Structure 1
Amino acid sequence: MTSMEEVHSFLSQIPGLAESVTMDKAMSFVRLASQLKDEIILAQAADYDLAAAPTEIPENVRSFLGCATDMPEDFVSGCWSAFSDTIWSYDNDGRSTGRDAQMFRDFGLDHLLSARTLFPPTKQCTTPGCLNSNLLKDKDGLRKVVLFTLSDGACATYAVHLHCSQCKTTYHNNYSVCNGVRTYYAGIPNAIQVGEHQYVEREVLGLFIGLMLISWTSATNAARVYDTCLSKPENRPDHKDWPPTRSFKLRTEHVWDGFLILSLLEDYVERNEILEVPHTGEQNVRFNNAIRKRNARFRLCGQPEWAHYCDKCMRVWKDGDGLKKLHVLVIDGITIGHPCCGVHDCPEPLITNRHRFCRGHDHRHHICAVEGCEQPVEPTFMTCPIVEHRQLELTHKTRDKALFQLRGRLQRATVSHPNDAFEAEVTAEEVEEMTIRDSNQGDCEAAKDPSGNRKIRALFGRRRTHNEQIFVRPCGIIVAHATFYASESVSQTVDMLQKVFHVEGSKPDIVIYDNNCTLYKYLRVIQYKPE
């Protein structure tokens, strides 16, 4: 640590510097320069020692410090010589407040500097097997990004990507990229990247999660709350490099992506694992495999609170010389239908929500939509040439057209909807049924009703899952959750019960279910023994 005598000696080497530097100006210089350590390191040689303060600072940093402290550049160089050791050992929280923050807003962008520039957390390559011990270098220059913060609103700042010349790994603020794989760093970053040029502060995402849990705020309204109340448009730069057309608006997908990434990172940190996802492809599918693995683990092991107990869901009483307990579980199916593959009970996801079948059953898009018919469709139709099947499709299209006409009438009647409300969509039923006389004509085998007529049924839209099955304690804690695709059968419920409570001593003593009689009979048949 530099002594005051040494500081005065350095300052005295430049005529007039010691007399012009006040204590307030010196402290401001130290605070501002300490915010720019990463920028200073970035300009050093590859073999630079990170432990020692460099003797020179980059031109843009020197010019910014001169503007912010109202000193000529030779005075800035003298102050750096005097305070460099102090600056290098100065520990701050990475935030500028008050006058320092205003200095960055006034002079930082002119020098491509920001108080919140997003750097990777490492300065040297950490890829296993890489022998490069030199400093990582800037790959493609500064990237203009928007950082959504809680204290300063939507901030104009920069992101820096560093590159290893040997293993070709690129280091970003949240993750590294090598061979097309995005590997997130251990721990949870202070800012989550939710778009190519958008980052959201962790505190902001925590606020959104709180709003969702406590007041049932939607992601759309969470984004509106931020844009209306927290974005602080007065802090947006009036600068040629940041034109008014650049968006500082937080979008709904940013909220959802931030929530998703933060949840996954917290899950991986809790299990002491590293999150890896594809770097290429669309953002909306990048995390699908990680989500499926997490959901599969939850289905097998239950929610994190699967072993929960409290006075509201467990009773413990003294019986003789010992204690007895009674632990209760409530089972229920919630009807929340999600689009799924049109093949009965297929759990594979759709390619997109516009498809009717998953990738493995994609060929069925070219098979007649009537159930039980395996004839190929004709171009522009979803049914085969059989007259009854074609008539069923035409009936469906006619009814769908009538609903479009109804929607048009509502629009012409200037029916208004509040901005905060979702417009109720008028949608056609996706299933059509038609009863026809029994005949031996046609190649399709369809079921007959008792009167001898033939009933044909077709699915022209997407099939939806049957329900979400949940296990919940009487106190409201959700123990487990699973998707039932075709039906809510007792056998599926029992299978889920056995998988969730596979640990000895974890089975509930009492199960409350709306089909308890059948459930009890089934359990007796398979000789299920509660503990």
Structure 2
Amino acid sequence: MSLQDVSAALLRFPELEGLNFHGLNQFLRMACLARQTIAFQQVNNRKPPPVLPLPILSTLATSLNATDTHLIQTCWAAFKEVLWEHPQVSPTDEEILAYNNAALPNGSSFRHIYPPVRACSNTMCSNYRETDEIMTLTEPMTHKATLYTAKNGALPVYSSSLYCRQCHRRYYHNYFVHKESSSRTYYGGVPNVIQVAQHFFIESALLELFANGMVFGWLSASNWARIYNCALADPNAHIANNKLAFASVYQHYKRPVPEGWNLELRNTDVTNGFLLYSLLLEKTERAGILMLPHDEATQKDRLQPALAERNKAMEGIGQEHWAHACDLCFVVFEDDNGNLMKIQSAHCDGDTIGHRSCKAHDCKTPLASHRRHFCPDHEHLTLKCAVIGCDEDVAAGHRTCRDPEHRALETTYFSRGKALFQLRSRLKKAGVAVQEDSVPPGMSEGDDDEVIIEVGRKGPVAVDCDGKAETGNRTLRAYFGSRRTHNEQLIMRSCGVILSRATFFGSEAVSAVNDFAKATFPSPESTPEFFVFDNNCKLDAHQRVINDRHFENTGKPVDVFHFTSKHKLTDHHCQLYCNPAAFPEMILKDGKWRFNTSICEQTNVWFGGFISVVQDMEVTRYNFFLDEMIKRRNRYVVGQLEAKGHCPWTIPMEALFPGKFQ
């Protein structure tokens, strides 16, 4: 607003001459905060209303500590045209608090959440309009809600929806629902604010922060909720968290919670927000529209079909950087005859991350709940002895049969009580050094992680989750807790871009690795020149036995570390076909390796950090979460490669799948 606008207003309304600049500025700023609510109540939105509605007038008077409502109406009459065209303002925390204290009792709020349309968007409806200037939607429904923001903290707000009486659609902030439909149809694109539960909304900017914290900090939804509630929910959290240090100003900056609102961010809202935000991003990137069931009782159930659909699309070649190539993983050179040759490598390895699964070996049917140890198809095995290989029924009150040795396993398991022994096992499995006497022995019956017990020469002994006994003895084995999948297998390029991921349920069998590799490289043109895997000798032998020629043009060296430490010199097949020194194309003239053959171990340092984040996730969310983490990390890795000049490019899909994309 220019000084000319002020001068013109004073000429038309001389009663404003006594208003000082500070008072005028405060009115203009507060009126800008009310602009959205005023516009929402107008049928014709082309021009501002001549006078303020009484609830808005009351809100402005209270927020400005003004007793003369006539003066406020006069200010509106003088400056309404300017305010209608320029409503943007960045309020201070004090202004937001003052406005909300006045607006909430009147059924409105700062950042009141409305539908993005005021006229029906159905082109076949008589209420359809190309613009929202004329409001054709009616029957507003308003309820209390909480908006979690990145800048202004947790805000008490109201949320409203509108209804079209002609085509029977109700329009909400993110989606619309037809009266006779059971689906939510999202508008398309990624909104600035996402509804994560009926009464809770989160800014997309904040959800992006949550997602990056998960990728690079391995932060769980619970930890993000704690961080937000302690450090971001209140703009003056540094004062609220340190009352003694800020005793003189604490009461001034203390922000009370309005009655009827819950401003505490829940971990379920972080999780649902991250999942919904990721789905909206995915649909927008693929020019699609997200549709979710509307009648489901919980947001968890509502998201499930869309998550499962995306999980299926991610299998094999689904990652967006699957066709990535750069000069660290794709090398073009001249051979001795002057011909151009290309070498591309892929690397495969597993990490012992897993989700709860059926205790029947290699069963892929999901559990009905985390409380179950068997899937519905194998529930009858609950009545069988927990010792592997024993088909006898359990004795009453026990998890084993009457066999004395089997009963000894059960006695040993429960006698170790209190779960601390298992905590040590988890640390050891995660690669953390733990002194043997640092944690008293014990294991809790209520802890449901996978546990294996063996009987050695000196009686029952406990073993780690990987099945290796501390004494080296191997006789009887038993699962008394629930079972987890064996590992997560990754295939990646030597530059660090992850191409695909797969869950191995029972073991890291070479047949499963072969199927995974073929799903990742489904055409002969897509297979790499070199496939690096620590058990390539067994993989190659398996392919030869079953006469699988899919990778007949792919060299299969074992990475240098595993070859020198875990492969026997007497294994003729391994030495002949998998010795990395037998592949001169992999070695530069100075004796260095052309590709980083240890990329899997380096990547697993990052990937293994999610073991505590995903350990209790339901399987559909587990798969979606890990695929999303890989997708986001790939984008970061490719960005770093571009910044360092490693010439990333994407191989045309037509070159890898001739004729498929014509």
Q: TM-score range by the shorter chain?
A: 0.7 to 0.9
Equivalent of 1:74 in 58, 70, 75: 70
Q: What amino acid does structure 2 have at the position aligned with 1:248?
A: L
Q: What amino acid does structure 2 have at the position aligned with 1:88?
A: W
User: Where in structure 2 are the equivalents of 1:51-450 lying within 5 Å?
Assistant: 51-69=46-64, 70=66, 72-90=68-86, 92=88, 95-97=90-92, 100-101=95-96, 103-126=98-121, 130-133=125-128, 135-145=136-146, 147-178=147-178, 179-232=181-234, 234=236, 237-238=255-256, 241-242=258-259, 247-279=262-294, 280-319=296-335, 322-359=339-376, 361=377, 364=380, 368=384, 387-388=402-403, 398-404=411-417, 426-427=443-444, 430=451
Unaligned runs of at least 5 residues, structure 1: 411-422, 436-454
Identity across the alignment (%): 31
Instruction: Judge conservation of contact 1:30–1:86 (CA < 8 Å) in 2.
Output: no
Partner Cα separation in structure 1 for residue 523 and residue 12 of structure 2: 75
What is the CA deviation profile of residues 242-286 of structure 1, one whole-angstrom value per residue up to 9, with x for unaligned ones? 37xx54333333332222222221111111112222232333333
Instruction: Judge conservation of contact 2:138–2:164 (CA < 8 Å) in 1.
Output: yes
**Alpha-carbon spacing, 1:489–1:269, altered in 2? closer, same or farther (3 Å):** same
Which range is displaced more, 424-433 or 116-125?
424-433
> What SS does the corresponding residue of 1:142 show, helix, strand or coil?
strand
- Say whether 1:527 aligns with 2:549: yes
Q: Equivalent residue for 1:39?
A: 37
Which range is displaced more, 2-11 or 312-321?
2-11
RMSD of aligned alpha carbons: 4.0
Q: What amino acid does structure 2 have at the position aligned with 1:206?
A: E
Q: What amino acid does structure 2 have at the position aligned with 1:175?
A: Y
Instruction: Judge conservation of contact 2:418–2:444 (CA < 8 Å) in 1.
Output: no
**Alpha-carbon spacing, 1:488–1:407, altered in 2? closer, same or farther (3 Å):** closer
Unaligned runs of at least 5 residues, structure 2: 129-134, 237-252, 424-438, 457-474, 555-662
Instruction: Judge conservation of contact 2:357–2:484 (CA < 8 Å) in 1.
Output: yes
Partner Cα separation in structure 2 for residue 255 and residue 403 of structure 1: 37
Partner Cα separation in structure 1 for residue 368 and residue 116 of structure 2: 36
How far the C-alpha of 1:510 sits from its partner, in A, is 0.5
> What SS does the corresponding residue of 2:526 show, helix, strand or coil?
coil
**Alpha-carbon spacing, 1:194–1:392, altered in 2? closer, same or farther (3 Å):** farther
How far the C-alpha of 1:471 sits from its partner, in A, is 0.4
What is the CA deviation profile of residues 295-327 of structure 1, one whole-angstrom value per residue up to 9, with x for unaligned ones? 221113232211122232222223455532211
Instruction: Judge conservation of contact 2:413–2:453 (CA < 8 Å) in 1.
Output: no
**Alpha-carbon spacing, 1:229–1:83, altered in 2? closer, same or farther (3 Å):** same
Instruction: Judge conservation of contact 1:313–1:473 (CA < 8 Å) in 2.
Output: yes
Instruction: Judge conservation of contact 2:93–2:152 (CA < 8 Å) in 1.
Output: no
> What SS does the corresponding residue of 2:315 show, helix, strand or coil?
helix
Instruction: Judge conservation of contact 2:31–2:60 (CA < 8 Å) in 1.
Output: yes
What is the CA deviation profile of residues 227-246 of structure 1, one whole-angstrom value per residue up to 9, with x for unaligned ones? 3332226577547x437xx5
**Alpha-carbon spacing, 1:20–1:228, altered in 2? closer, same or farther (3 Å):** same
Q: Equivalent residue for 1:499?
A: 519
Which range is displaced more, 153-162 or 171-180?
171-180
> What SS does the corresponding residue of 2:334 show, helix, strand or coil?
strand
How far the C-alpha of 1:31 sits from its partner, in A, is 4.3
Partner Cα separation in structure 1 for residue 254 and residue 280 of structure 2: 30
Instruction: Judge conservation of contact 1:328–1:510 (CA < 8 Å) in 2.
Output: yes
**Alpha-carbon spacing, 1:199–1:108, altered in 2? closer, same or farther (3 Å):** same
**Alpha-carbon spacing, 1:375–1:293, altered in 2? closer, same or farther (3 Å):** farther
User: How many residues end up aligned between the 2 structures?
Assistant: 484
**Alpha-carbon spacing, 1:503–1:165, altered in 2? closer, same or farther (3 Å):** farther
How far the C-alpha of 1:332 sits from its partner, in A, is 0.7
- Say whether 1:478 aligns with 2:493: no
Partner Cα separation in structure 2 for residue 456 and residue 88 of structure 1: 79
Partner Cα separation in structure 2 for residue 337 and residue 91 of structure 1: 52
What is the CA deviation profile of residues 43-89 of structure 1, one whole-angstrom value per residue up to 9, with x for unaligned ones? 34xxx233343344431112222344547333333333443333333
Q: Equivalent residue for 1:449?
A: none
Instruction: Judge conservation of contact 1:96–1:115 (CA < 8 Å) in 2.
Output: no
Partner Cα separation in structure 2 for residue 88 and residue 504 of structure 1: 63
Partner Cα separation in structure 2 for residue 503 and residue 71 of structure 1: 78
> What SS does the corresponding residue of 2:83 show, helix, strand or coil?
helix
> What SS does the corresponding residue of 1:200 show, helix, strand or coil?
strand
How far the C-alpha of 1:475 sits from its partner, in A, is 1.9
What is the CA deviation profile of residues 142-168 of structure 1, one whole-angstrom value per residue up to 9, with x for unaligned ones? 3132x2222222222222233334454
Instruction: Judge conservation of contact 1:28–1:100 (CA < 8 Å) in 2.
Output: no
